[in-house]
Structure 1
């Protein structure tokens, strides 16, 4: 099993006019971070040197042209382009969106080919990344296409994990998207992730209702009674500890969430508003269900503070540590499933 200090941590640089590049370099300005991983930033040495000089950071960058040149104990920058990039912090720019996608595509390719072990993605602007060749609403949908598995947005922090039945779906279309098949798939993904990625043997999962008050016996919609509730009962009959649907309005305020290993929300804001309120900038967006490990911070490009040197690095740092921990947990899980009694293979 790879040791943490040997883990190759790939970082896609995101929107260069946002706070991503600043946050990445400020994190690795602390040399102690290099004890946990070998970072490889997918950008260019010219671009990252500009960011370094703008923020007057004391950090040594190692420019490389292929990943085999990455050096442990150094902050490596893989050159994904040669030209100078015109960075204007805080501005939306279609050209900057192109560089964000160049970085993501090359980082994803490296992840698929096992040249890196973990991918952490810096924030992108979902509008300026759109093109004839890239028509995805965000990282997760693209990674779901490129990697094996069935992706699920899983927001995690200490003591709280929130998954989503639907993510980037308009509110008016949510109920139509939630089918028994989708519910079964998403719960299976969360369950497997809790077991292999978070080392929880018998997870307890709560599911939030689709409608206010879970429909109030059909008064405020019937989807909870006709779709969600019977599907949960079917899943529970297989032995999984799945409970709900719970009324979402009181679930977090009553601290009921503390009784479960994960909560599955029916739609994006139902899960992310309480998560971001409770996580206080420590949250991590983990893409569960794929055959590779990808995490990201729970914030966006933050154009309003870009270039000012005031961005909070906490969430991105947590994304790095979470990715490393999940990678190691998966390795251990795979070893245990190959050797279920846990006997050492070494001769005594």
Structure 2
């Protein structure tokens, strides 16, 4: 079957007649009429009621028209996708990212990305709040969570995961001891990312041992802060035990500012997701940035080989 005939029929039916279809498409009425008649001959049924006063579809015509609507929509979507691939990525990409991820990881990737795509401008908002992607017109929001429930209208693409490890400074360990079991953490000052907790409420860490069995630890934070960098610096200064992603703690462990506690015990991994709108036809600049993150984020967030 010649799919052009289906398209000519769609134009005629969608515009309510040959004259209107000619105005909308630039295709002559005679050609449209001839191709629709040819289509009717092929399918063996009448599709259009021919009347000098009004245009109407037969029952078979209505059924075929409904089918061509999706056909044309899919064809247009495929055409747009190819057109986007052929265009040179340019323009502004608005990105939201947790502060520590921006400072220690995205900052390593941005220069190379921007050298590769000189026509792209990036607006990076380093913030620890949950931005409203659609309302604030953010193209890509990076979020690091143990689990992520995506809001309606958004897509969450997992990029990389990292374990949460326990760390403390050498001075802290000298003062409070080096724990040999997670239960001992309940007697030590800690650092927490949990906010808006009342004094009467308990704070808990869920840790998993070498056999995978969970252990719930009640702890007593001295500092509450969502910002991982502040938690890290506070741990380095001996304020308390921190449970933070391994890639964040890695440089301080390598320099001896921090020591990993209970190395056989970890928390659930945090996964970095790229969150963006479900709308079709992602612009080439945003697609280029997302593809770059998918390729390079796993490398910068890979697990360090702690001793």
TM-score interval, normalised by the smaller of the two chains: under 0.3
Which structure has more strand as a fraction of its residues? Answer: 2
User: TM-score, normalized by length of structure 2?
Assistant: 0.24
Structure possessing the higher radius of gyration over alpha carbons: 2
The TM-score normalised by the length of structure 1 is 0.22
